[in-house]
């Protein structure tokens, strides 16, 4: 009976690198968040026009429709920050090129 339960568990994945998540994963996450915020903005816009509510509530819907695009664009353009860069410190006799200077050529 215990063997059956083991099949339903998700395997634990251990990270063996300090690499960031892939760019396509990051872009996908930002696109999803942007689309959700734009859907909320559309709902606010429709509610501001359709719902017969008192002025303060209608003003709240209008504010959501006006300010959510700004917040969504700022969030969509921001790359995810990983803690791995902040934790990296060079050792005293380290000959490795720092991460911000890793380039090929000149």
pLDDT in tens, 41-90: 999 999 999 999 999 999 999 999 999 999 999 988 887 765 444 445 55
pTM of the full predicted structure?
0.58
Q: What is the pLDDT of residue 10?
A: 73
88's CB contacts (< 8 A; 6+ apart) are: 18, 99
Give the chain's end-to-end CA distance (angstroms, integer): 63
Q: CA–CA separation, 15 vs 31, rounded Å?
A: 25
Q: How far apart are CA 31 and CA 24, in angstroms?
A: 10
For the segment 54-63, what is each residue's pLDDT rounded down to a tens digit? 999 999 999 9
Q: What's residue 94's pLDDT?
A: 57
Q: Indicate the average pLDDT of the chain.
A: 77
Q: Provide the pLDDT for residue 83.
A: 43
């Amino acid at each position: 009976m215990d063997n059956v339960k083991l099949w339903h568990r998700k395997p634990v994945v251990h990270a063996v690198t300090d690499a960031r998540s892939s760019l396509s994963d990051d872009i996908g996450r930002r696109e999803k968040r942007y689309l959700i915020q734009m859907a909320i903005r559309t709902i606010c816009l429709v509610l501001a026009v359709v719902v017969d509510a008192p002025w303060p509530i209608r003003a709240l819907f209008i504010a959501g429709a006006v300010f959510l695009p700004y917040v969504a664009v700022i969030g969509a353009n921001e790359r995810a920050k990983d803690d791995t860069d902040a934790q990296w410190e060079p050792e005293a006799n380290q000959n490795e090129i720092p991460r911000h200077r890793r380039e090929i050529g000149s």
